[in-house]
């Protein structure tokens, strides 16, 4: 990607390093493919004594992708994506059954110097969301705004700034209607397979700070270890191994260093693809 990308990509590298794949539940995912190319993915997640299930089918035909998900809460979510209507333009239509108010239509446009996403809810008084990013891959600034047309109120307004060079990405985000400010960075150690990152969030309403440090190291092309620690005393670590393309197991654990007497939390995720 040459341009600045879309708004959610501001600070994404640091968020992925600090939060992605960490979990304390037990999750199993199996993906199979039919003879006509339909991908079917079944997922089972155990949270405490509850088991949550989901099955997803994905059909691709040229530039059209149809995703249908059904879960154990009796919700059916359908997403239709049409890519490259014109160069850089993508359209996404999504809706859920039985929630008739969940329908949404979105357009995304990527340019060398801009990224724009606009969505509207498919209701009589919809929520309209617009996010824009301007700049380049090296320096980008953006905003994300939602308007509730029923009340005429802004339900969301965020802003972000991102700086990227060969081995470092730094970002600054103003979130929660201006109530919180988050600064983050992601840095690849030179001539190394190790990356480090940090995120500092300040809440203006509570005057509280949240600081999280993390690191990631690639042991070999198939194995990754990660660790993180925050100022509330929680330490987490994970080990992920990919024994075949797109098939991997992940073991993660979390310990509250300020309450060692409490049992630690351990999660296991297994993903299988043929």
Give per-residue pLDDT as tens, 190-246.
Answer: 778 999 999 999 999 999 999 999 999 999 999 999 999 999 999 999 999 998 888
**Of the CATH numbers 3.10.180.10, 1.10.3720.10, 2.40.160.10, 2.40.70.10, which one belongs to the domain with range 7-272?**
2.40.160.10
Residues 6+ apart with CB under 8 A from 16: none
Residue pair 257/234 in contact (Cβ under 8 Å)? The answer is yes
pLDDT surpasses 80 at 263: no
Count other C-beta atoms under 10 Å from residue 100's C-beta. Answer: 10
pLDDT surpasses 80 at 2: no
The mean pLDDT value of the chain amounts to 94
Residue 103 CA, chain-centre distance (Å), reads 21
> Among 74, 72, 106, 76, which Cα is nearest to 90's?
106
What is the predicted pLDDT for the residue at 173?
A: 97
Work out the burial of residue 195: count CB atoms within 10 Å of its CB; fewer than 13 is exposed, 13-18 middle, 19 or more buried: buried
- Give the mean pLDDT of 75-85: 94
How do the domains of the chain map onto residue ranges? 7-272
For residue 127, list its beta bridge partners.
148
Rounded percentage of the chain residues whose pLDDT exceeds 70: 99
Instruction: Return d(Cα 119, Cα 8) in angstroms, integer.
Output: 14
Residue pair 196/215 in contact (Cβ under 8 Å)? The answer is yes
Work out the burial of residue 226: count CB atoms within 10 Å of its CB; fewer than 13 is exposed, 13-18 middle, 19 or more buried: buried
Low-confidence winner among 8-12, 159-163, 241-245 (lowest mean pLDDT): 241-245
- Give the mean pLDDT of 160-188: 96
Local confidence band at 100 (pLDDT 50, 70, 90 cut-offs):
confident
Local confidence band at 1 (pLDDT 50, 70, 90 cut-offs):
low
Instruction: Return d(Cα 145, Cα 151) in angstroms, integer.
Output: 15
What three-state secondary structure class fits 9?
helix
């Amino acid at each position: 990607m040459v341009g600045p990308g879309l708004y959610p990509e501001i600070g994404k590298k640091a968020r992925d390093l600090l939060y992605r794949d960490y979990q304390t539940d037990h999750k199993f995912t199996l993906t199979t493919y039919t003879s006509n190319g339909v991908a079917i993915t079944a997922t089972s997640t155990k949270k405490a004594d509850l088991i949550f299930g989901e099955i997803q089918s994905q059909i691709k035909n040229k530039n059209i992708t149809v995703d249908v998900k059904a879960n154990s809460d009796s919700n059916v979510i359908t997403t239709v994506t049409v890519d490259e209507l014109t160069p850089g333009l993508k359209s996404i239509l999504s809706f859920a059954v039985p929630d008739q108010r969940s329908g949404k239509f979105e357009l995304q446009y990527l340019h060398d110097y801009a990224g724009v996403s606009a969505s509207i809810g498919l209701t009589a008084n919809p929520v309209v969301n617009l996010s824009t990013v301007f700049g380049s891959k090296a320096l980008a600034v953006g905003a994300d705004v939602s308007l509730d047309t029923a009340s005429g109120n802004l339900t969301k307004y965020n802003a972000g700034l991102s700086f990227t060079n060969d081995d470092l990405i730094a970002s600054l985000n103003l979130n929660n209607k201006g109530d919180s400010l988050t600064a983050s960075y992601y840095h690849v150690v030179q001539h190394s397979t190790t990356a480090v990152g940090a995120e500092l969030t300040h809440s203006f309403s509570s005057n509280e700070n949240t600081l999280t440090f993390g690191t990631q190291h690639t042991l070999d092309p198939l194995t990754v270890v990660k660790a993180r620690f925050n100022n509330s005393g929680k330490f987490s670590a994970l080990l992920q191994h990919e024994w075949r393309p797109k098939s991997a197991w992940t073991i993660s654990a979390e310990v509250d260093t300020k309450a060692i007497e409490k049992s630690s939390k351990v999660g296991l995720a297994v993903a299988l693809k043929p």
